[in-house]
Amino acid sequence: MDIMEKAEAEMAEAGFSLDKIPREKFDEHIWADGILFFWWKHKKLPTAYDLAYDMLDEWDDPVSEMEAEEILKCLTSS
């Protein structure tokens, strides 16, 4: 199991699933990489600021804090 698979399994155990992100939003950016990598490093979901920063810094995929907040709300909704 690679680190991204492990992070995704840990997130699922905590009640968070990337499947909650609507497909059209999910495909706009590399959200999975940004969110899973943050989880792997910190064992928690990022804030909108942290996600937007990491998307640019780690993945060269700039997103706004507003976009990041929208994605995070999908993950935390029931």
pLDDT tens digits along 15-66:
999 999 999 999 999 999 999 999 999 999 999 999 999 999 999 999 999 9
- Specify the pTM: 0.93
Q: 50: closest CA among 41, 10, 19? A: 41
- Where do the structural domains in the chain lie, given as residue ranges? 3-76
- 59 within 8 A of 33, measured Cβ to Cβ: yes
- Above 90 in pLDDT, residue 69? yes
Q: Is the Cα dihedral 11, 12, 17, 18 positive or negative?
A: positive
